[in-house]
Structures are given as C-alpha cells and as structure tokens.
Amino acid sequence: MKKLIVAVITLFLGTTAFSQEIDLGVKAGANFSNITDASGLSNKTGFQAGIFGGIKFTDKVGIQADLLYSQQGAEFDGGEFDLTYVNVPIVLKYYLVQGLNIQAGPQFGFIVDDNIKTVFGDIENQIEAEKTDVSGVVGAGYDFPFGVRLDARYNFGLTNVSKVEGSEGKNSVFSIALGYSFL
C-alpha cells in the first residue's frame, strides 16, 4: 500500500513539474491612486515599473509575483501626499479562456519615500507614513502571443497609510500595465 501511495505521489509530482510553464519578464504602467476615508483628496497619477515571475500549473491555474516600483498617494489643495513604494503583489491567476485571466491575492508594500505635508495658512506640518502597507489585489489580464502581457488591477489597502493617531486613510490604486515575458 505504501509503495502504491509513493508511486501515485511521484507520478503526480512528475506530471505537474513537466506541465508547468515558467514566466519571467518586465512590466511598466500607470497608477491612478487615492487615499480612502479622507475628505478633499483627488486622484494622483503616477507610474509603476518592475519585474514579474510566474508559474502556470495547469491550463487554467497559475501564480505570479511582481517586484514593482510604484508611485502612489493623492492630491489636495492643502498640501502633498506623495508616496513611493516597492510593492510585491502575489496573485493567483485563473484563465477563463486562452490568454484571458482573472487575478486575486495579497500585496505587500514597503515605503521608499514619503512626502506628506499639510499647509494651513502659514503652518506647515510634515506627516510620517507607515513603513509597510498590506493590500488586497483583484484584476484581469490578457497574455498575448509573443510574450506580451496586459494587466489591469485594483489594489485596496488593508492598513492605514499615516502614522497619525486616529487616521483611517488607506491606499486605493487602480493600475494598468504592459509587460513582456522573456520565456
């Protein structure tokens, strides 16, 4: 019985390993970001760029991780809310039809630069951002022939952006990116 179980597991792992498709490439795109639960803020446009790697386990299921430099934040009349992160989204990709996929998973962000200041009359306040950010990611993508990839994602923040006590603002980012897979 033990030999049969070992044989089945070996067969399963062997066929899974050979059926995997590895994906590695670069991507760049635009971010349209805002901070939720804060009044008087409007969308800020920034960019994102980085690398991605993924594995397609079957014709329908894969996983992809990105390492992205990402400009985020919001705009408002009373100051600046510029945030720059290194984001690591890890998404499960489910392929509906050839090339078309839906994506969902977590994203972990690490602040690289924060420039948050408010101006009220002659008083200027510098505010410090949290060093990390955790978000949820949902989106859709299409894998074109010849390695071209297109992704549209929405990242909804799960953690507060600012270290200010009582602040409830979270990242809210819609992004669209074009990528190229080398493999």
pLDDT bin (cut points 50, 70, 90) of residue 16 is very low
Which range is most confident: 2-16, 30-44, 95-109? 95-109
| pLDDT at 107 exceeding the cut of 90 | yes
Helix (H) or strand (E) holding 8: helix 2-19
pLDDT of 114 reads: 84
Confidence band (pLDDT; 50, 70, 90) for 15?
very low
Domain that holds residue 50: 21-181
How confident is residue 77, by pLDDT bands cut at 50, 70 and 90? confident
Of 106, 135, 128, the closest CA to residue 33 belongs to 135
Is 8 inside a domain boundary? no
Record the pTM: 0.81
Q: What is the CA radius of gyration of the chain?
A: 20
Residue 15 within any structural domain of the chain = no
Q: Does pLDDT of 118 surpass 80? A: no
Q: Is residue 66 part of a domain?
A: yes
Contact (CB, 8 A) for 172 and 42: no
69-81 average pLDDT score: 82
- H/E stretch holding 88 reads strand 79-97
138-175 pLDDT, tens per residue? Answer: 999 999 989 999 999 999 999 988 777 767 788 899 99
The verdict on residue 11 lying in a domain is no
Q: How confident is the model at residue 82 (pLDDT cuts 50, 70, 90)?
A: confident
Residue 73 falls within a domain, yes or no? yes
Report the distance separating Cα 139 and Cα 65, nearest Å.
14
| 119-132: pLDDT as tens digits | 555 555 667 788 99
Check residue 180 and give its pLDDT: 97
For residue 155, count other CB atoms closer than 10 A to its CB: 26
Q: What is the DSSP letter of 15?
A: H
Instruction: Identify the residue with better confidence: 16 or 162.
Output: 162
More confident residue, 27 or 40: 27
Number of domains in the chain: 1
CATH number at residue 165: 2.40.160.20
| pLDDT averaged over every residue in the chain | 85
Query: Strand 100-120 to strand 123-127: parallel, antiparallel, or no bridges (unpaired)?
Result: antiparallel
- Does residue 12 lie within any of the structural domains? no
Q: Quick check: is 9 in a domain?
A: no
